[in-house]
Amino acid sequence: MAHDHGHTPAAWVGSIIAFVGFCVAGAFMVLDSPIGFWAGMIVIAAGGVIGGAMRAAGMGQKPKRQILVNEG
């Protein structure tokens, strides 16, 4: 397994929040509660926003450096 598969705080937090949102939305879907379902969908969206904000704050994967080769 490669070392650069997104194992960063931003990726973990965003994924965990989205997972909780899916669980909430799924549970309220079974319970036939539209308000709870949409609350879960909002939590899913919040996971993406929070993960993106953490990435922008520098807690995501660092950009790779490219080596330029002069072939001339």
> How high is the pLDDT of residue 36?
97
Give residues with Cβ within 8 angstroms of 24, minimum separation 6: 36, 39, 40, 43
Q: What is the separation of C-alpha 6 from the centre of its chain, rounded to a whole number of angstroms?
A: 10
Q: Which residue has the higher pLDDT, 66 or 45?
A: 45
> How high is the pLDDT of residue 2?
58
List, for residues 7-50, the tens digit of each pLDDT value.
888 889 999 999 999 999 999 999 999 999 999 999 999 999 99
With bands split at pLDDT 50, 70 and 90, how would you rate the model's confidence at 72?
low
The yes-or-no verdict on residue 3 having pLDDT over 70 is no
- pTM score: 0.77
Contact 55, 10 (CB under 8 A): yes
